[in-house]
Amino acid sequence: MVQVWATLLACLAAIVATAGATSNNLTDLVTWDPYSLMVKGERVFIFAGEFHYERLPNPVLWRDVLEKYKANGLNAISVYFFWSYHSARRDVFDFETPGKDIQVLLDTARDVGLYVIARPGPYCNAETNGGGLALWGSDGSLGKVRTSDAVYERAWKPWMDAVNAILAKNQISYGGNVILYQIENELQETTHSPSNTLVLYMEALENATREAGIVVPTTSNEKGMRSESWSTDYEDVGGAVNVYGLDSYPGGFSCTNINSGFNVVRTYYQWFQNYSYTQPELLPEFEAGYILGWGSYFFDQCLAEHDPAFADVYYKNNIGQRVTMQSLYMAFGGTNWGNLGAPVVYTSYDYSAPLRETREVQLKFKQTKLIALFTRVSQDLLITEMESNGTGNAVSTDDVYSWVLRNPETGAGFYTLQQSSTPSREIVTFSTFLKTSLGTVTVPMVNLNGRQSKILTTDYHFGQHTLLYSSADILTYGILKGQAALVMYADAGQTSEFAFKDNTDLSYKIYGTANISSSAVSFSNTTSYSSHIAKKYVYTQTYGSTVLQLSNGVLVYLLETQTAWTFFAPPTTMDPNVSPENQVFVLGPYNVRNVSCSDNAVILVGDNANTTNIEVYTGGHERTIVWNGKRLDTRRTAYGSLVGTAPGATDRVISLPQLSFLVADSLPEAQPDYDDSQWVVCNKSSSLSPTVPLTLPVLFSSDHGYYAGIKVYRGRFNGKASSVNITAQGGAAAGWTAWLNGHYVGGNTGNATQWRSSAILDLTQTSIPNATNVLTVVTDYTGHDETSTGPAGVENARGLLGAALYNGSRTTNFTSWKIQGNAGGNANIDPVRGPMNEDGLYGTRLGWHLPGFEPSVSEWKSGSPYEGLNKSGINWYHTTFQLGIDADLDVPLGIELDAPARTEASVQIYVNGYQYGKFIPQIGPQTRFPFPPGVLNNRGENTISLALWAMTDKGARLSNATLFAYNVYQSGFAFDRDWSALQPRYTMDRSRYR
Ligand code: GAL
């Protein structure tokens, strides 16, 4: 009975709290008001992270990533679904092979306890090949993309229907975790007119979602503050979504100057007030790192992007402006393996993201966690009005800027403090004037340590208690088995104070080194409680943690910031909206994935590089900590937590083999007598692509059914010719090389900022018989364009744009052209690795990159990429080796490649059949390529190939090709599995793709 009443009361409370909520009239399970989103009637701060499952082809690792998102405080994932990845041919969709089984992704999100914000395009951008549009449409057959063009609609509708059908049944209304659905991406409403083609397009997409049974609210993603699109609150002429969103990448960092950028944007609040005032403030993408392209820097080099201060100042700045929904782009970037990238990015899509490409948690994520966990439990934050803001506002100095939010129902206040000039590294100490329900309090000695922000609170409610104020940041609180535990953090040496509203004279015990004193709070303008004497606790933070046990039953953890980075609050529920009751507190390790409690033990699963002390607080009476299946020697502290030592992995030996290779020629096509009778003949005289062919026949690769990867062309002509003018377009950094009758005649070795290049090749140096001559051209490829790259986007042609042959000043003709691309073209012969993975190199076509391929003695000899080629050509280096990493370790492995200065080459890296890297030494910057488990077998046999294409007659060789380990973690995640389903093996029928 008690239980029934409690449930009824809880329901009633939820209804009261959300009275006045707006629904889209399709579901009441997700609603909103101007303050926040409500899921099942309960307000929730959405702190999401973008995740592209496409960029991590092992679905088991999706769980690894999502568990780390969850551990670091996120409660949702935002996910693009790339049409290109699922559709090798028109109207054919793969949602079944492991890496494309999005049901597994959605199930994993549900099991880990993360909401899902679905973003199925059809256009995504995302620096992915073609922006996510189907590559079979790169021949121009998609029509006028991203408009209401009927040709385009006929193309996208089947994709949307297919993906929507899966998303629909995973909505929260059917027990799934999909709570929001974004329509299109960054589509700018240029003209607010009902007949605008973009309006009609948005409406068509919305109709398609409704037809498919999508009932959760729709959202949008405005491209920065560049237009005012799709909001019901602003010139709504149709196509508006339920909750308007704005993306923002404000960091402005440079990789060479650590001091550049770091100016926060202070106009979000006003923007949302202007354009979406009936909705909560949504940042569907907020900078968590940024892209870097060919020829620029590697992500490790851009130190400012990795600074935890970025998360601290920028994310708090959003909170200060009343944002209650934000998603970090990217929270984990992953890899542009297998031609997944657009030309604007190289293989790594690490993005300097909080979770690195190697799946390692960097400090920025740990700082993010402190903020995310705060938003997870701070109910007071979910209804606030902007009370005041400005330079010198509520503080004693103009060096500090503040945002003051007030909850009109509870009176709680949130004072976000930041440097007036946020790039400043000055240490400022000042007073803050906090309005509490008992009067204004002056807090002296508040300190910002350079690039730092703080959220001070007043009348902050937790459980039965109210903090009258706190000048230390609150990390989180828990009501753990009835025990209230509050966690705060500050830098070592910073002085903070806090007071409770409900108790005037508490006794307390201190465990730890921080000095704490208590005294009466003095109010400058007391209210009706003028006689009220509240007690404040003033302390200076020391390294590590200090625990304060108060006689009102509250346990306060005072953590120094870096110690706070090792704090976790794993939930005991799958509900992403974690209530303060459903958590356990853990301090010490590198990562905590999940927790469960038995009568006697707290069972934790996590990861640890170093052996660390671990402290667990459950509020209960367990006696033992079990860490990754191991019972730790556990003792109980005087204040009721458990302490033990969690093992690390520093004593583990990782032995990696030196690679020794076999070599074979991968360019027999340059020889004039090569048999290309099975190749596709280029015989089209027109193309749908907006790119104009410079000569006929049309040589664009997409027009011949070859979309991704390197292409090989063979053009024949009879008799004399003196030169040929070749134009190729492969995307940034993509070069090309030409041979006449097997002899190098020239090309272009690529340029980081040039998509296309032309060269007039002198043919007079090569002997030209009167009979048939063959010009072989190999063109590199770095992806199809996004629509942000003119003139058209995905339809911008790839491969050869023209080949004009001359004999002296006279034009003469090729008699035929043939093209070869990835084996099978759009037949998708290796669906597991997918339609984009391969390229048209001879070795790839023949399956030399696949596990199980056995180099024949006749064709292969031993050879090393360190020797390389002494003239132009393409050598294929093949190796197999065993790895035997301990089963309980997570060891991110990779290969490091280097080449002598002035080498001009393009190197394709294949790992167990996956194209997992492209190394272009003359352009760079990437030299280290990580391979996740499942692509590489950390235990078992591996096949690695390096296809070394020497682009000039100087030849090319590597100076380094070494396997290495990024780090070693003892892990409770079972990385030791049978990955064979992800690695289909070589089959004999490959020989037909010669
Ligand atoms: C956004 C876009 C994303 C991604 C990002 C930059 O504007 O919506 O898809 O391209 O920029 O990484």
**What would the pLDDT profile of 681-709 be if each residue is shown by its tens digit?**
999 999 999 999 999 999 999 999 999 99
The mean pLDDT value for 169-181 works out to: 98
pLDDT of residue 806: 97
In the structure, what pLDDT confidence band is assigned to residue 564 with cuts at 50, 70 and 90?
very high
What's the half-sphere exposure (Cβ side, CA atoms, 13 Å) at 944? 26
Structure tokens at 138: 């790169």
Quickly count: other Cβ atoms within 10 Å of residue 461's Cβ: 18
Please give the distance, rounded to the nearest whole angstrom, from the Cα atom of residue 126 to the centre of ligand 1.
5
User: Would you say residue 527 has pLDDT above 70?
Assistant: no
Pocket around ligand 1 at a 6 A CB cut-off: 124-127, 185-186, 221, 223, 247, 285, 291, 329
138-152, 500-514, 736-750, 854-868: which has the minimum mean pLDDT?
A: 500-514
662-665 sheet: strands from edge to edge: 861-862, 662-665, 873-884, 939-950, 905-911, 914-919
Going from the Cα of 44 to the center of ligand 1, the distance in angstroms, rounded, reads 25
The residues near 809 (Cβ < 8 Å, ≥ 6 apart) are none
Q: How confident is the model at residue 2 (pLDDT cuts 50, 70, 90)?
A: very low
Q: pTM, whole model, 2 decimals?
A: 0.97
In the structure, what pLDDT confidence band is assigned to residue 526 with cuts at 50, 70 and 90?
low
Q: Evaluate if residue 5 carries a pLDDT over 80.
A: no
Mean pLDDT of 890-907: 98
The atom number, within ligand 1, closest to the CA of 124 reads 9
Please name which of 704, 652, 654, 646 lies closest in space to residue 679, comparing C-alpha atoms. 704
Atom 6 of ligand 1, residue of closest alpha carbon: 126
User: What burial letters (b/e) apply to 545-561, b meaning 16+ CB within 10 Å?
Assistant: bbbbbbeeebbbbbbbb
- Omega of the bond leading into 120 within 30 degrees of 0 (cis): no
Question: Cβ(727)–Cβ(800) under 8 Å?
Answer: yes
Residue nearest to atom 7 of ligand 1 (CA): 223
**187 Cα: distance to centroid of ligand 1 (angstroms):** 12
Nearest Cα to 101, choosing from 120, 85, 121, 122? Answer: 85
CA distance 496 to 388: 23
Contacts of 1 by beta carbon, 8 Å cutoff, 6+ apart:
none
Distance (Å) from CA 330 to ligand 1 centroid: 9
CA distances to 50, 365, 539, 571, 691 from 565, in Å: 22, 9, 20, 17, 52
User: What secondary structure letter does DSSP report for 195?
Assistant: T
Residue 41 CA to residue 18 CA, distance in Å, equals 6
Lowest mean pLDDT among 216-230, 243-257, 785-799: 785-799
Q: Catalytic residue at 285? A: yes
**pLDDT score of 7:** 45
pLDDT at 842 over 60: yes
* CA–CA dist 64, 78 (Å, integer): 16
- Ligand 1, from 119, 247, 336: best to mutate by most atoms within 8 Å of Cβ? 247
Closest-CA residue, ligand 1 atom 10, reads: 126
Position 792 scores a pLDDT of 87
Active site residue 186: yes
For residue 9, the model assigns a pLDDT of: 46
Residue 712, classed as helix, strand or coil, is strand
Q: Are 854 and 848 in contact (CB under 8 A)?
A: no
Which residue, judged by its Cα, is nearest atom 3 of ligand 1? 126
Element (H, E) at 744: strand 743-748
Determine contact, residues 498/470, Cβ cutoff 8 Å.
Answer: yes
Ligand 1 atom closest to residue 125's alpha carbon, by position in its atom list: 9
As a whole number of angstroms, the distance between CA 282 and CA 280 comes to: 6
Measure Cα distances from 872 to 174, 197, 311 in Å.
Answer: 59, 50, 48
Structure tokens of 486?
């509050």
What is the tens place of the pLDDT at every residue in 295-342? 999 999 999 999 999 999 999 999 999 999 999 999 999 999 999 999
User: Taking Cα atoms as reference points, which of 316, 315, 319, 343 lies closest to residue 329?
Assistant: 315
**Cβ proximity of 262 and 423 under 8 Å:** yes
> Residue 909 corresponds to which tokens in the numbers above?
């890296």
Residue 201: pLDDT band (50, 70, 90) is: very high
Q: Is 592 helix (H, G, I), strand (E, B) or coil?
A: strand
Average pLDDT value for residue range 197-218:
98
CA of 292 to the centre of ligand 1 (A): 12
Q: What are phi and psi of 19, to 5 degrees?
A: -55, 140
Rounded to the nearest whole angstrom, what is the distance from the C-alpha of residue 249 to the centroid of ligand 1?
9
- Predicted confidence (pLDDT) at residue 986 exceeds the cutoff of 90: yes
Taking only the tens place, the pLDDT of each residue in 619-655 is: 999 999 999 999 999 999 999 999 999 999 999 999 9
* pLDDT value, residue 506: 85
Phi-psi region of 799 (alpha: psi -120 to 50; beta: other; left: phi over 0): left
Pick the more confident residue, 333 or 789: 333
Mean pLDDT of the chain: 96
Per the CB < 8 A criterion, the answer to whether 868 and 948 are in contact is yes
Q: Which of 81, 125, 253, 292 to mutate to test the pocket of ligand 1 (most atoms within 8 A of CB)?
A: 125
- Angle in degrees, 0-180, between the axes of helices 150-169 and 197-211, rounded to the nearest 10: 30
Q: Could you tell me if 382 and 319 are in contact, meaning their C-beta atoms sit under 8 angstroms apart?
A: no
Centroid of ligand 1 to alpha carbon of 968 (angstroms): 32
Say if residues 432 and 417 touch (Cβ distance below 8 Å). Answer: yes
Provide the pLDDT confidence category of residue 16 given band limits of 50, 70 and 90: very low
Helix 59-71 to helix 102-112 angle (10° resolution) is 30
Residue 531 has pLDDT above 70, yes or no: no
In one-letter notation, the amino acid at residue 590 is Y
Using DSSP's 3-state secondary structure scheme, residue 328 falls into strand
Query: How large is the average pLDDT for residues 775-784?
Result: 98
Candidate list 54, 127, 228, 285, residue with the active-site label: 285
User: What CA–CA distances, in Å, run from 272 to 22, 234, 324, 458?
Assistant: 17, 11, 12, 25
Going by CA atoms, what residue is nearest to atom 9 of ligand 1?
Answer: 126
- Which amino acid would we find at residue 391? T
Mean pLDDT, rounded, for 166-183: 98
* Separation CA 561–CA 566 (nearest Å): 9
Residue 703 is classified by DSSP as G
Evaluate if residue 525 carries a pLDDT over 90.
Answer: no
State how far the Cα of 779 lies from the Cα of 346, in Å rounded to an integer.
17
pLDDT at residue 3 greater than cutoff 60: no
Whole-angstrom Cα distance, residue 317 to residue 327?
A: 14
- Among 52, 78, 123, 127, name the best residue to mutate to test ligand 1's pocket (greatest count of ligand atoms within 8 A of Cβ): 127
Q: Check: CB of residue 430 under 8 Å from CB of residue 349.
A: no
| DSSP at 256 | S
Q: Which residues contact 957 (CB under 8 A, 6 or more apart)?
A: 865, 866, 867, 868, 869, 899, 900, 903, 948
User: Which residue among 248, 291, 329, 789 has the greatest number of ligand 1 atoms within 8 angstroms of its CB, and so is best to mutate?
Assistant: 329
pLDDT digits (tens, 9 = 90+) for 726-762: 999 999 999 999 999 999 999 999 999 999 999 999 9
Give the containing element (helix H, strand E) for 42: strand 42-44
Of ligand 1's listed atoms, the one at least distance from the Cα of 80 is 9
CA dist list (Å): 916 to 344, 932, 945, 950, 979: 17, 10, 10, 19, 16
Atom of ligand 1 nearest to the CA of 223: 7
Distance CA 593, CA 616 (A): 14
Q: Quick one: what percent of the chain has pLDDT higher than 70?
A: 97
> 222 phi and psi, to 5 degrees?
-70, 135
Q: What atom of ligand 1 comes closest to residue 330's alpha carbon?
A: 12
Question: Which of ligand 1's atoms lies nearest the C-alpha of 788?
Answer: 10
* Distance from the alpha carbon of residue 322 to the mean position of ligand 1, in angstroms: 23
Q: Which tokens belong to 162?
A: 């297919």
| 756 in Cβ contact with 802 (< 8 Å) | no
Segment 471-480 mean pLDDT: 98
Provide mean pLDDT across the span 17-24: 79
Spell out the residues 6+ positions from residue 2 whose beta carbon is closer than 8 angstroms to its own. Answer: none
pLDDT tier at 6, thresholds 50, 70, 90: very low
Which atom number of ligand 1 is nearest to the Cα of residue 351?
Answer: 12
Q: Which domains does the chain have, with CATH numbers?
A: 2-361 (3.20.20.80), 383-582 (2.102.20.10), 664-826 (2.60.120.260), 828-993 (2.60.120.260)
- Give the residue from 980, 971, 863 showing the smallest Cα distance to 361: 971
Per-residue buried b or exposed e for 828-863, using 16+ beta carbons within 10 Å of the residue's own CB: bbbebbbbbbbbbbbbbbbbbbbbebebeeeebeeb
Percentage of the chain lying above the pLDDT 90 cut? 94
Taking 50 as the threshold, does the pLDDT of residue 175 lie above it? yes
Question: What mean pLDDT do residues 754-774 have?
Answer: 91
Catalytic residue, chosen from 186, 206, 560, 622, is 186
Asked if the model's pLDDT at residue 1 lies above 70, the reply is no
Q: How much distance in Å is there from the Cα of 16 to the middle of ligand 1?
A: 39
**Per-residue pLDDT tens over the stretch 935-963:** 999 999 999 999 999 999 999 999 999 99
pLDDT tens track for 337-376: 999 999 999 999 999 999 999 999 999 999 999 999 999 9
Q: What mean pLDDT comes out for the span 114-125? A: 98
